[in-house]
Structure formats: C-alpha cells, structure tokens
Amino acid sequence: MAEPTHWAFPENLQPDPDALHFDLGRALQSAVMLRTEIPEDAFTASILGTERIGNGMVIREDGLILTIGYLITEAQTVWITDHGDRAIEGYPLAYDFATGFGLVQALGKLESPALPFGNPDHTRIDDEVIVLGHGGRNHTLQAKLSGRREFAGYWEYLLDSALYTAPAHPQWGGTGLLNAEGALIGIGSLLVQESADGRSTQGNMFVPVDLLAPILDDMVRFGRPRGPVRPWLGMYTTESDGQLVVAGIAAGGPAAKAGVRQGDLVLEVAGDRVNGLATLLRRVWSLGAAGVVVPFTLARDGTVVRVSVTSGDRADMLKKPLLH
C-alpha cells in the first residue's frame, strides 16, 4: 500500500464543524495512522504487500486502537502516528477473521481521546455521516449512508449487513464512520461500486461496530474470539455469469491439498446445490468447525468431479506477532 501523498478533499466535501452536533476537532484527535511491516515470506505478503498503511480509531483511553484486520495481519512492526504527528510503536494485538476487525495496542502514551460507540441501526439510508481519516479535516469526508446489505468476499468472508457510503474515501482502510452525533458506527474495509440515481459511483464498505462488543474482551485477552473456529478452505471463489468459479487457490491450503483447481465450477456443497457465494460459505460453515471434511461437487472441463476438502484454521498459515 502506497505512501500517502499530500492531498486534501475539496472544501465542499469536508465536514463543516459549525454545522455538526459534536466536536469535530476532538473526534479528529482520535484518528491515527498505522504503518506496518510484514516479512517477505509471510502468507499474505504476495496479496497485501509487505508495507501497509491505513487508519485506526482510538477506542479506549489506554491506547487501544480499532482498525481493519488486513492492515496488521502478520505484522512484525507497527508504528502509530497520532494527530500531533508523533510516532509511537504499537503491537498487533488481535485479528478476527469473521468480522475483519483488528486491534492494535499503543506501547506509549497516546494524546488521543477515545471515540464513543454508536448503534449502526439508528442511522438510516441517506443520512449524513462522516468518514474520519488521519490527517485532520482535510482527510475527512462528508458522505451519506447509501446502503446496508449483505457482503460476501472471495477470501471466505461474509457480513450479514455491511454499511455502504458514497462518495468514496480514497484511503478507506481503517477509517472511522461517524454518525450525526459523532459516535463510531463502522470501520472502513473496501472500495466498492455504488449505484445512485441510475448512476454508478465509487463508495466505501464499512464493518458495523456492533459486531465488536461480543468479542472484544476475548480479542484483548486471547488475540481472537474463543469458541469453534470456522472451517477455512483456501479456495477463492467468485460469482461470474451466474456460476461459482474457483478463481484462485491458496498455496499449501486445504483446497490445494485436496486437488481443487483454479477454473473449477462449484455445483454442490455436501450434496446441496449452491447458487451464490454467500450460500456456499454458509453451507460450508454449517458442517462444523475447522477440521471438518467438506464434500464438493465440481465441474471441470465438462466433467463432474467430486472432491473432499479437509478444512483448516486460517490462523495456522499466518505468522504470529513478535512479543515485546
């Protein structure tokens, strides 16, 4: 991920502090920049890069930072830049595969207030929201909530009700989505195409923060939520022309070991027809925890192929953070 350049939103896209019902200056102090370094031989290095830059939101007075997990996955070094441009070392405390949230603990004193949490369900479609980025008001965007719907990602990721905003923030990773009261309701994850008034425009997808409360204590204590681990396949499946296509295979992952090939079409999971990525993921996860055998019916070069994949735990493929 590239080094941020000197840029600013046009004045008309920046939030007007005098028109808000909260202290924007204080909220801006809660946004930090995260810079991480990942070993070249890390599992995610070829996909996400070895140097990653994004945002984080301070959520506790002790320096606990909420961000999007891909910024800190397999990170060996984390540096935090606060609102005063001070550099402070951080520790990649936790990553939850189900929500996509990541936690960073500042290892020095942050002069940043904690953002309060809001209820995402209380913000309606077309309500005005603020996309908060590190770098002051110049890097903060006045936007609208443009949608709330399911999101399925080819990397075996599914949200029942993701939040969508438009226009797009160009440095979306880990940005904070604030409601009209200045409370945090989402964390930036992706750049997406949004439709409005018959036109297609770029927007952002946010993970709603109400998913954090049930798992926060476990993430802080154990680095991930406790309980059964979802089965992971290492099979990157996409929807194309009404078909489910295996677009890629994780080297050394369960699907690769079972003989699944790039270009295979997924027809059935455990005997049930699947006609969408979300359906496929839910069916796989319904079979049991990591380690469960997942039977697939595939189409390959016009022939029906049956393959059984012994699922795994994605965390086993990842490098662990260095202890301080």
What architecture is the 22-114 domain classified under in CATH?
A: Beta Barrel (2.40)
What architecture is the 235-317 domain classified under in CATH?
A: Roll (2.30)
Integer Cα distance of 119 and 147 in angstroms: 16
Integer Cα distance of 173 and 54 in angstroms: 5
The per-residue pLDDT for 6 is: 80
Could you tell me the pTM of the whole model? 0.95
Integer Cα distance of 120 and 4 in angstroms: 29
Question: Among the listed ranges 3-17, 124-138, 151-165, which one has the minimum average pLDDT value?
Answer: 3-17
Per-residue pLDDT of 257-298, as tens digits, reads 999 999 999 999 999 999 999 999 999 999 999 999 999 999
Residue corresponding to tokens 């964390």: 187
**CATH 2.40.10.10 domain locations along the chain:** 22-114, 120-211
Report the Cα 125 to chain-centroid distance in Å: 21
Specify whether the CB–CB gap between 92 and 112 falls below 8 A.
no
Give me the mean pLDDT over the 31-59 stretch: 97
**CATH 2.30.42.10 domain locations along the chain:** 235-317
Integer Cα distance of 113 and 176 in angstroms: 14
Nearby residues of 148 by Cβ (< 8 Å), 6 or more positions away? 120, 125, 161, 162, 163, 164
The per-residue pLDDT for 59 is: 98
Residue 150 to residues 107, 188, 224: CA-CA distances in angstroms? 36, 15, 23
Report strand pairing: 64-68 vs 77-81.
unpaired
Q: And the tokens for 264?
A: 């295979």
What architecture is the 120-211 domain classified under in CATH?
A: Beta Barrel (2.40)
Within 13 Å, how many C-alpha atoms sit on residue 228's CB side?
A: 10
pLDDT at 145 over 70: yes
Q: Which residues share a beta bridge with 266?
A: 298
Per-residue pLDDT of 93-123, as tens digits, reads 999 999 999 999 999 999 899 999 999 999 9
Q: Which residues share a beta bridge with 239?
A: 244
The per-residue pLDDT for 20 is: 95
Q: How confident is the model at residue 3 (pLDDT cuts 50, 70, 90)?
A: very low
Q: Where are the alpha helices (DSSP H) in 38-155?
A: 45-48
Residue 264 to residues 71, 85, 179, 294: CA-CA distances in angstroms? 30, 49, 43, 16
Specify whether the CB–CB gap between 28 and 133 falls below 8 A.
no
